[in-house]
Amino acid sequence: MKVDLYEKIWMWASVALIVVFLTTLALAAGSQAVRPPSHIETVDPTTIYEHPEFGSPGVETRPDGSVLVTGVAQMFIWDPDPIEVPAGAPVTFRLTSADVIHGFQVVGTNANAMVIPGYVTEFTMTFDEPGEYLILCHEYCGLLHHEMMSKLIVEESSS
């Protein structure tokens, strides 16, 4: 079979481009220390409400003034609902799901996380502006997904 010179040039140029892209990706990942997580915290989603931490989701104020929110997402509710926290305090969210993948988004803020069954999602935010914020599920989780919402109430700090 005869391959024209121009076809050979385009084939080799395509291969060279793929090699350049893969090399760039490997070098960027290596130089930026991109590694998979070394520790992933898991829970059994079938017994989530018997778990010592997630069995009774809620809001806890720690002695240092920070707040711990332990929450469970389940079709089509957030537990606890509503979540009340003081303004200006660091709020650590520890979330998991009892059934399917959910998304946790506090509208108007940078709080945005995936909530996956069997895994614990943890992140910390500080809400400086008092008010009521809408919490939405941003991952399709079933027929009533559009109804899955909650409320975050940021109260004026007493100090």
CA separation for the pair 156, 159 (Å, rounded): 9
- Of the chain, the percentage scoring pLDDT greater than 90 comes to 69
Tell me: the pLDDT tens digits for 97-135? Answer: 999 999 999 999 999 999 999 899 999 999 999 999 999
CA separation for the pair 144, 77 (Å, rounded): 10
- Of the chain, the percentage scoring pLDDT greater than 70 comes to 95
The pLDDT, as a whole number, for residue 3 is: 81
The pLDDT, as a whole number, for residue 33 is: 65
- pTM for this entry: 0.74
Tell me: the pLDDT tens digits for 7-44? Answer: 989 999 999 999 999 999 888 877 776 665 667 888 99
